Amino acid sequence: MNPTDTLETAVADLEALESAGRGALEGAGDPGELEAARIEFLGQKQGRLKTAQERLKTLEPAARRAYGQRFNQVKTTLESLLESARVRLASRGQALEGIDVTLPGVPPVLGHRHPLTQTTEELTEIFGRFGFAVARGPEVEDLWHNFDALNIPQNHPARDPLDNYYLAPPGGVESLHEHGLWAMLRSQTSTVQIRVMENQPPPVRVIAIGRVYRPDTVDATHSFMFHQIEGLMVQKGVTMADLKSVLSLFARAYLGEDVRIRFRPSFFPFTEPSVEVDMVWHGKARWVEMGGAGMVDPNVLRSVGYDPEDVSGFAFGLGIERLCMRRHGIDDIRLLYQNDVDFLRQF
């Protein structure tokens, strides 16, 4: 027994302990500080309250009851202070959760336009600068616009049912012999040339961009559906030189100043003379066909009521996928249709 330990000093120490504990528990600014204060004051092994409890034994038996009562009050007070500090810090954490400005942000995922859409927009813009307006035509087309008016004869292989998507006539396939072939998914955007000229007198300067359909087996360079850009310019005095300059200017604008293109003599029923236009495939020493072109055949001008003695024109049709692939270094056309987000994100 420690004779110098009187009830007065022991209770005074208890009071000091209580106010120190209150300060620590109320002042704790985060869960870590609160836990440290809990261990210091209320810790089961070496907490200051525990030590104060053990002091009971050092007091005279007569003083123990009073000390014990005071001790219990202090203990209860500190325990409830601990509890309210926990509540206080927990609710503060919640309030901050939505507005913790130090957290890295969650960037919203932004979509963007498909590379083919970007290509068509850019082509429209380039030809717009050259004075070409945009024309449109239907994807379900009649045979007049897809073939006849374009000077494609009845027995021409381009009409082969194996090379086109013909639609069943209104009475079903059984009525084919009665109606004949009736409508189809257009196989080329040249159809729009006819529709434009049927609806307006010269001068004409238009492009048409859209889907075309051919039953090709899908591989790295073929698809049963792809996109073309058609161009048509008809007025007095248009020549092959105009065609060559427009396509050369276009190729430089879209593929770059250093692009090389060439014109090869070719044949199309709707142009005379006709050429095929090639471009060098990204950096490699390989020519790839970009499309066809030529001077509008007089028969085509006549079929829409134009006078070939009065006006002349050029036309061209280019593959949009080819242009887009050449521009971006894409080697497989299928990538453009798979909607693989990792692929699309690159453009």
Q: Count the neighbouring beta carbons within 10 Å of the beta carbon of residue 149.
A: 23
- Binding flag, residue 317, ligand DAH (CB under 6 A): yes
Tokens 């959760």 -> residue: 97
Q: Which is nearer to ligand DAH, 21 or 317 (CB)?
A: 317
Q: Which is nearer to ligand DAH, 78 or 324 (CB)?
A: 324
Q: How far apart are CA 59 and CA 297, in angstroms?
A: 122
- Binding flag, residue 271, ligand DAH (CB under 6 A): yes
- Part of the chain binding ligand DAH (CB under 6 A), chosen from 4-12, 28-36, 169-177, 313-321: 313-321
DSSP class of residue 199? H
Contact 226, 212 (CB under 8 A): yes
- Part of the chain binding ligand DAH (CB under 6 A), chosen from 13-21, 127-135, 251-259, 291-299: 291-299
Q: Kindly tell me which residue out of 21, 202, 292, 313 binds ligand DAH, with binding defined by CB under 6 A.
A: 292
> Please, which of residues 228-257 interact with ligand DAH by CB under 6 A?
230
Q: Which is nearer to ligand DAH, 10 or 185 (CB)?
A: 185
- Part of the chain binding ligand DAH (CB under 6 A), chosen from 18-26, 131-139, 290-298, 326-334: 290-298
Residue 288 beta carbon to ligand DAH: minimum distance, rounded to whole angstroms: 14
- Binding flag, residue 137, ligand DAH (CB under 6 A): no
3-class SS string, 95-152: HHHCCCCCCCCCCCCCCCCCHHHHHHHHHHHHHHHCCCEEECCCCEEEHHHHCHHHCC
Residue 253 beta carbon to ligand DAH: minimum distance, rounded to whole angstroms: 19
Q: Which two tokens stand for residue 276?
A: 């095929």
Contact 133, 206 (CB under 8 A): yes
Residue 305 beta carbon to ligand DAH: minimum distance, rounded to whole angstroms: 19
- Binding flag, residue 188, ligand DAH (CB under 6 A): yes
Residue 191 beta carbon to ligand DAH: minimum distance, rounded to whole angstroms: 9
- Binding flag, residue 190, ligand DAH (CB under 6 A): yes
- Binding flag, residue 268, ligand DAH (CB under 6 A): yes
Q: Which two tokens stand for residue 279?
A: 């471009």
Sign of the CA dihedral running 38, 41, 44, 45: positive
Q: Which is nearer to ligand DAH, 230 or 321 (CB)?
A: 230
Q: How far apart are CA 114 and CA 94, in angstroms?
A: 42
- Binding flag, residue 315, ligand DAH (CB under 6 A): yes
Q: Kindly tell me which residue out of 74, 293, 300, 323 binds ligand DAH, with binding defined by CB under 6 A.
A: 293
300-306: Cβ within 8 A, 24+ apart: 300/149, 300/150, 300/151, 300/193, 300/194, 300/270, 301/197, 301/234, 303/148, 303/149, 303/150, 303/151, 303/194, 304/149, 304/194, 304/197, 304/198, 305/197, 305/198, 306/197, 306/201, 306/202, 306/234
Residue 194 beta carbon to ligand DAH: minimum distance, rounded to whole angstroms: 11
Q: Which is nearer to ligand DAH, 202 or 294 (CB)?
A: 294
Q: How many residues bind ligand DAH (CB under 6 A)?
A: 12
> Which chain residues interact with ligand DAH by CB under 6 A?
188, 190, 230, 268, 271, 291-294, 315-317
